[in-house]
Amino acid sequence: MSPDAGKVACADGTVLPYDVLSLDVGSQSAIGDAKGVERHAVLLRPLERALVGWNGVFARAAAGRVNAVTIVGGGAAGIELALAMRYRFDVAFRDHDVPHVRLISDAAGIGIAAGAARRLVRRMRRAGVAS
């Protein structure tokens, strides 16, 4: 790969020019030795799996079988996901109990810059997301 020249070399030797390059190398959720993850959690990668999982969570919530959703990961993606879930629940379940949404992280607070974190924590509280 030659970023200054705007070229990337493929494994077969082909050299491709680019203006903007996005490397999607894939990702796996780090679950370590956590027990019950496959049965009780929705992993966010691959994305297709996450969408199927969210649809299942939402259907169970609509049937009154979900009291709370916990998102593990206090970075920008986790915060965005928590706010989006809470908003979707609020819109869909105006007339009855909305599942509680919380965000937890192994970091102290949430894993972004301090000023942005303070503003986001206030926004999350106003939206009904616990952290």
Element (H, E) at 58: helix 47-62
Contacts 24+ apart (CB under 8 A), 118-123: 120/79, 123/83
Q: Which amino acid is at 60?
A: R
Instruction: Write the CB contacts of 31 (distance below 8 Å, at least 6 apart in sequence).
Output: 37, 41, 43
- Strand partners for 101: 69, 129
pLDDT digits (tens, 9 = 90+) for 21-54: 766 656 667 777 888 887 788 888 778 888 999 9
Strands (E), the chain: 7-9, 15-17, 68-72, 100-104, 129-130
pTM over 0.75: no
Distance from C-alpha of 124 to C-alpha of 67, rounded to nearest angstrom: 18
pLDDT in the model for residue 111: 64
Instruction: Write the CB contacts of 76 (distance below 8 Å, at least 6 apart in sequence).
Output: 112
pLDDT in the model for residue 1: 53
pLDDT in the model for residue 116: 83
Residues of the chain with pLDDT under 70: 1-3, 22-28, 107-111
